[in-house]
Amino acid sequence: MLVQRKETEGSATYAEALLGCQPSTSTCAPENGHHKDCHSFCKRIRSLTPEILTAPTENCYDPVTGRRRAAERVPFDQETRDVMKNVREFFEELKRELGSSCNGTVFNHPVQMTALACGVSLGTAYRLKPSQPPQKSSDDEATPPPPPPPPRKLTKEEEARKALLEQNCEQMRILVMKKYGKEWSDIVRYFVLEELKQNENLTVLELHNKLVWAYADFPMPAPTLYAFLKGLGFTYRVEGSKSIVVKPIVAKDTTCTIPVTTLRMTAVHNSQ
């Protein structure tokens, strides 16, 4: 009996094995607070009885309430909501502009970016639906667009600058015609009229390339050819950044009926 009791006392109980401690049998004070807490906890575990474990729990505990009073959420005014909507519209537009390049980045989530930028919750950011652009009705589509505004009236300084530019262009035309008119007037006029019969949208640059290819000794660069054609009576139609050569109203090709090959031979002979 004594041996069995000693074996029972020497072996750890299930609670002791679970908790990793043994109750102290010494009357001395525990060495530190950890052993004291462990000893008290083990005593409470051993004191549990079936009656305590099966005791009813209805209406035994008071409801737990926070010590601090919950702060009331201040509602956003209309101006603040408009600002947050604009922020979300910005991130939505940024996502559309980036396209697939924003995949895997924070810019692919406009709602989260809005919440971070405005310092609000995700729920608030979700409820901020961006405003949709107004839909065009059938009446709006049937309405013709408004006429373009009248051309702006030039100031005195702009008119003086324009007159000076025209004067310079006129002087340049005179100099170009004096330098190249005697040798190349009939050749270039006939060549341009023949090219315009095949292509009505002929630009100055295209015409210059054709002249350089047809006449190896053609001396004029493209800007000089522009002024030279002006002196021959041709005009231009501007389309974007291109100057399209326009045939003059009074045809001048009746004064020159020499074939291009003959003109080319004559030009080469004159250069020699």
Are 200 and 121 members of one domain? no
- The answer to whether position 72 is within a domain reads no
Of 46 and 229, more confident? 229
Report the alpha-carbon distance of residue 96 to residue 92 in Å, rounded.
Answer: 6
* pLDDT one-digit tens code per residue, 227-252: 888 888 888 887 777 778 877 765 44
- Note the pLDDT of residue 10: 53
Q: Please say whether the beta carbons of 99 and 122 come within 8 A.
A: no
Whole-model pTM over 0.75: no
Question: For the chain, what is the domain count?
Answer: 2
Residue-number span of the structural domain to which 98 is assigned: 78-127
Please indicate, yes or no, if residue 60 is contained in any of the structural domains: no
DSSP structure string for 144-179: PPPPPPPPPPPPHHHHHHHHHHHHHHHHHHHHHHHH
Note whether residue 135 is domain-resident: no
Q: Is the same domain home to 198 and 118?
A: no
Segment (H or E) for 235: strand 235-239
Structure-token pair, residue 214: 């047809």
